[in-house]
Amino acid sequence: MYIYNVSRISRHISKACSALFQQKWNLFPLLSNLNNVKLISTNRGKVREWTSWRSIITGFVPIGICLVAVMQWRAYRKISSAHSAKQWQISCYCALPLRITSRCWGWLADKEIPTWIRPYIYGLYTSTFGVNLNEAASEDFKSYSSIGDFFARPLKEGVRTVDHTTCLVSPCDGTVLHFGTVSSGNIEQVKGVTYSLENFLGENSWNSRNNVEEDSYQDLLLHKVSPNSKLYQCVIYLAPGDYHRFHSPTDWEPTYRRHFSGKLLSVNPGMARWLPGLFCLNERAIYAGKWMHGFFSMVAVGATNVGSIKIYCDKLLETNKPKYKSKNVMDKCLDSNLRFKKGDPFGEFRMGSTIVIIFEAPSSFQFKLIPGEKVKMGQGICCANKEKYVDRVQKTKTNAFIHAT
């Protein structure tokens, strides 16, 4: 089975540090006696530069140790991935100060890094997580002033094309964890591991039918634009090396935002298999509205060391903050004129995380995906020939419904 090789990671760090010190501080005979070396006047500027940035550079050491520990923990989890977590394991994991470490990481990710050291830091990250820098708008490491800027780097124009032959495209680059219909009010986060739709989305405040007692929560979400319509879902995981921005997967109108402050647990595929209800525990920003087939929602799920979730149309959203004392859930009605076209920029993560889309569609709707498949932003994820678009009469009714509501 796969186990992270700590010595390999150590060698990467050792090489980077060795090259760094050879280039910048070869004037020091012994690093351990750094404070006792008498410097000539021509080198005082370099010493001041080192002193001013020493706290930030040395700040990477505990983070590196934490990363190694997390990697080893993930390897251990992978060995026992056939079993779901027990309640005591969930309690222990949730008790870890992951929000504090994530806030520290967010602070560090926004700090400006000296130009000369950027290639070493970003180069190490690129080789470790397999970043494809050829797709980035700028391939020069020195052009990214902070780690956060490097994580959320834009792509070159034309690198991603939006498939206009299907009604739904992937909102991001990532790995498909699961997709399919929502059954009995439950969603599968991975094969065989489910969580409650109601716990994930919360109270159905955005639908005027929420007081109909005889209907299930799942039925209340449906707009019934088409007969026999169903709820579908798709979960896509963004790895640390992926493109970190996400886009609108279709033409739609978000009308409501709900923010759960939640926890900041890891959302990688191994954790999703191990911890049932993971996405219901984590911090998340839910954007609910409507599209041509009825209800549509897109959810950005936070994770450990995600500095922030940034939504371009929602400047008031604040994530990865100290634990909220008054409210765990914060709602907001969005601008009634807000519209998104397929492929429009929607938001960004400051590190890898997860996007969940939950939507209403006709019973003839079919995905063209494989679990575990890598997808790119703009790639069609449903079958154009089998997913039947509504006819002209139904389109007219749909448009009338949207404008009326």
* Residues noted as catalytic: 173, 247, 353
Kind plus residue range of the DSSP H or E element containing 55: helix 44-58
Q: How far is CA 143 from the centre of its chain?
A: 23
Tokens found for residue 142: 């020195």
Cα distances (angstroms) measured from residue 71 to each of 33, 68, 169, 342: 33, 5, 32, 36
Distance (Å, whole) CA 236 – CA 71:
21
- Residue 288 · residue 256 · CB < 8 Å: yes
How many CB atoms within 10 Å of residue 315?
A: 8
State the DSSP code for 364. T
Helix axes 60-79, 44-58, angle to 10 degrees: 30
Percentages (nearest 5) of helix, strand, coil residues in the chain: 35, 20, 45
82 exposure class (CB count in 10 Å sphere: 0-12, 13-18, 19+): exposed
- Residue 361 · residue 193 · CB < 8 Å: no
